[in-house]
Amino acid sequence: MPDPALAIVRLLDEDAEVRRQAVSAVDARDASGRYALREALLGDEDAEVRARAAQKLGEARDRRFVPALCEALRDAMPSVRDRAIRALARIGAEEILPHARRAVREEAVWWVRRAAVRAAASVGGVDALEISIEALADPFWRVRHAAVQSLVLLGDDEEVSAEVRTRVQAAAKEDGSGAVAAAATYLAQTWGDVRGESPPAQGADAPSFPWSTNGIGDEDPAVVTARLERTSAAELPVRALVGWLGDPHAPLRSLARRRLRERGDREAMILATRWLDEPRVPHAAGEVRALLDRLGGEDITLAEEILAAAPSPGPLRWAAAVAATRRHRGLLERVRSFAKHASPSMRRAAIAGLAREPESLPIVLAALSDPDEAVRDEVLARWEKQTRARRSQALDAWVHALCDFAPHARSARERRAVAEAAAIAGDEALLARASQDLDPSVRATALAARAARGTLRDEERRAAETHEDPWIRASVLDPDSAARACAGDPDPWVRRAAIALLASRRSTLPSELLRPAALVSARSPDPWVRARAADLLDPGAHAEDLRALLVMSRDHHPMARASAASALEACDALDARLHALLRGPARERDEDVRTSAFTWLLRRADDAAFAHLCDALRDPTEPAPVAAHLEALTLVFPDEAFDAAPDLAHRRPSPPQRPPTTAPRPRPLPARSPALRPLGRTGLSVSPLVLSGAHGVPSAALAEAREAGVNAFFWEPRYAELTRFLRSRRAGREDIVVIAGTYNAGAEAIRKDVERALARLRTDWIDVFLLFWVRSRERLSRADHDALAQLAAEGKVRAFGFSTHDRAICREALVEASWPVVMTRHSAAHPGAEETVFPEARARGTGVLTFTATSYGRLLRPVPGDDPEAQTASAADCYRYSLSQPGVSACLCAPRSRKELLENLAVLGEPRITPEVASSLRAHGERVRAHHRRFDALVRRGPGGPKDTLRALLDEDTPYVREALPSEPEM
């Protein structure tokens, strides 16, 4: 069991992996552990450390750490923001609500928005109703799903049910996008307010784009990309290109950006800037910024056109940044006019740009009085970047404005900025008020300033020195309290600050204060503290200091060893001091100290050192460990030196004899399961389960699966653990089947992806190479089929095929060409392949792989309306259902943990399902499918997705776009 106290110290280790492990070992039940986690959350360089710290603080459920978790919501990494949101929800902190509201509108990462919706609902209940309703129009269906889940639960609560249902219906009537109305219909059916037939699911028949794409559009983005490669920029509709900037398919986004750059017209760029208003669609805004970054000097002209019209916040923010960066007076005047706009989002966009321009400082500082907190946050963000190394006119203006703003400061961030300004201004009244602030960061800022100014009263200092919060204790450190902190403070950050303070004042502080603190710090578990302590010790003046440095010179940490060595080497009388320590009247008894002392005494390996060595080796009173060390040190001296001491020559260690080299024994192959199945007529045999590395199951667990009989692995380049395993000797390359593939179309692109896979896996062949996620017939063109066949003829792939959700495409492809392998969706909730695909594949000898056997986990849960206590199917039964279908060779599984993996491996020994279980599972699957069709039509594929978001953006009143593009079809 790791020592929790040591774990806190290890949070300061230089190695991020050590810190990650330390977070897990910190005892969050103890206050010192929670404060250490707060420090890691807000100060560590590694995002995973910060994320784990947030999670553990949430598990501790201590409201004192709500401000720190709210601060972490501004972290640069989405994983940290996500964990902080979840932690606040666990604590039940209502402070999450305004942050969740902003996240639903502005957060770029969908899973962070989803966490915000769920957290708000769990904490706020009906008070968070507007957040959930607003999220019903999110561009990503999983966020809409989270909102639906939240509203379902609220709508079932008898106390608030009527209010929830009324407000949802009212929002549906006011909804212009259709997304809220569609979700409201689904909710009404779920609540039982509406009966009747479920609407048909949308999808295959829906156009890929709501405007002309000149024949380039297709349901499959790989096909679109291939067509776009063959089309010149001048032939392409601008709106389609702009739309593709938000496509999930990275090659299509990149190519669309390149084509827009080739067109080189400002109207296209203006249209593209619309994506800057929608941060919630992944990649789109980033692609636009990358496009705009390549404009060079043309950015001024584009900014002029944007500002001359009626810009929205996203384009305004970009144009304001151009105006500030270029110091363009005309543009700046226009941007300044937006600083007083009626819309807070417009004021915020203008201030974000003006904050970069020195002459606009009065306007920026005036925004501190803005009624909208988000606008004020833009001002504070610039203050936090403001250099305070030296006083300047600009700094004085900031300080004066913030001090004037003090009575209106509300958030902890605002109060902390006021305290920082008051410290610079020396405003004792403001600092005294901030010294009583409830937020520890504000309080610590003020206390530190008052301590430095000498205005802190004795009782205030004593209260701060004994305060539970380490930020408060550290803020008032002086030499006396620093010396005490070195000896007894439980927080390693405080101990570091204490020893650093003493080291910085070593020339003015008495030895009586420094030495005790240095000696106790020399035994600290923190190597950084030990290293600083070495700088404060004097081995020439004090025997105890010498002993401490000798022990530290053998420290396991190089930093501490180096500091001790520097201190010892700086001692002019070191040899005399060492000799007295070893041979003097007060002979040192500690074996570790004697061992280190002899090492230093003999370091020069000269005649004097050899004489010392001989005397010590002839001394029968030397302890055995010290004598053994001395014998090892004899190897430092040349052989001829022992001609003068033949009685000691035999004590020199002989070099160890190397054992004779023998060839390593070949590792026997693990016992194979007899359950391997033929993969059609490919000549390959596969285990019933194909193991995917999608969720990063550790390579050690993959090895366990291999030993159990799994020989087939589904691989993509981002699967780091599976990549590591397949490269290792444990995988046994000759006896496994690697299934890989490509999301691209076209012979050249396919060949490139095969070559990349071979290089990444360091292998000569891929066993099965698939065209992934086929969504249109053209993706399975004769040319691409022939390209795969050629790769097979070259031995780079052993078999090839495609994967698809679309059964009609799959069956047509099997009829028209010879495809050795297909991978298709199949489960008890989607059994259609049993009638359309499997018989055709069997007749043609095509190997069949299935996936989504659990229907993304839906088959493992009760359907709304079912008895929640009713027994549901296991994942193993879902795999068995698919494996029991004639013609199915194997089923893909993607466990999220070793535990799930071990549960799934039970399928290997019993791959067939019993008729009774199959019947029950089919009945459950029918209910899952019926429920999912309603959800799919009204929420997942309903209005509100990225294309509808773009439609709304482009349909806004934008005169400069409509006039510039008269030939573009209206949507």
Show the 3-state SS of 279-297. CCCCCHHHHHHHHHCCCHH
Per-residue pLDDT, 960: 40
> 777-834: per-residue pLDDT in tens?
999 999 999 999 999 999 999 999 999 999 999 999 999 999 999 999 999 999 999 9
Q: Residues 6 or more apart from 549 whose CB is under 8 A from it?
A: 522, 534, 537, 539, 564, 567, 568
Per-residue pLDDT, 154: 87
Q: Is 848 helix (H, G, I), strand (E, B) or coil?
A: strand
Q: Is 964 helix (H, G, I), strand (E, B) or coil?
A: helix
Closest CA to 99 of 127, 71, 59: 71
User: Contact at 8 Å (CB) between 956 and 273?
Assistant: no
- Three-state secondary structure string covering 174-211: HCCCCHHHHHHHHHHHHHCCCCCCCCCCCCCCCCCCCC
Tally of CB atoms within 10 A around 205: 8
Per-residue pLDDT, 970: 31
Closest CA to 921 of 970, 971, 877, 861: 877
Q: Which residue has the tokens 């020199």?
A: 652
Q: What are phi and psi of 192, to 5 degrees?
A: 85, 15
Q: Is 137 helix (H, G, I), strand (E, B) or coil?
A: coil
User: How far apart are the C-alpha atoms of 343 and 341, rounded to whole Å?
Assistant: 5
> 694-748: per-residue pLDDT in tens?
998 999 999 999 999 999 999 999 999 999 999 987 666 778 999 999 999 999 9
User: How far apart are the C-alpha atoms of 490 and 525, rounded to whole Å?
Assistant: 12
User: How far apart are the C-alpha atoms of 724 and 730, rounded to whole Å?
Assistant: 10
Dihedral sign for Cα atoms in the order 12, 18, 20, 26: negative
Element (H, E) at 755: helix 747-761
Q: Which two tokens stand for residue 437?
A: 């602030």
User: How far apart are the C-alpha atoms of 97 and 120, rounded to whole Å?
Assistant: 6
In whole angstroms, how far apart are CA 214 and each of 258, 264, 302, 467, 587?
18, 20, 27, 71, 95
CA 220 to the chain's CA centroid: 29
Q: Which two tokens stand for residue 600?
A: 């230093």
pTM (predicted TM-score) = 0.87
DSSP label at 777?
A: G
Q: Is 889 helix (H, G, I), strand (E, B) or coil?
A: strand
User: How far apart are the C-alpha atoms of 624 and 628, rounded to whole Å?
Assistant: 6
Q: Which two tokens stand for residue 567?
A: 């201190």
Q: Residues 6 or more apart from 87 whose CB is under 8 A from it?
A: 54, 55, 57, 58, 59, 69
Q: Is 248 helix (H, G, I), strand (E, B) or coil?
A: coil
Q: Which two tokens stand for residue 751?
A: 């060949």
User: Contact at 8 Å (CB) between 828 and 885?
Assistant: no
Per-residue pLDDT, 868: 66
Taking phi over 0 as left and psi of -120 to 50 as alpha, with beta for the rest, 696 belongs to: left
Tally of CB atoms within 10 A around 398: 24
Q: Is 94 helix (H, G, I), strand (E, B) or coil?
A: coil
Closest CA to 708 of 674, 685, 737: 674
Per-residue pLDDT, 941: 77
Residue 686 forms beta bridges with which residues?
Answer: 677
DSSP label at 822?
A: E
Query: Residues of the chain whose pLDDT is less than 50?
Result: 1, 195-207, 666-672, 957-971
Dihedral sign for Cα atoms in the order 588, 590, 594, 597: negative
Taking phi over 0 as left and psi of -120 to 50 as alpha, with beta for the rest, 845 belongs to: left
Q: Is 692 helix (H, G, I), strand (E, B) or coil?
A: strand
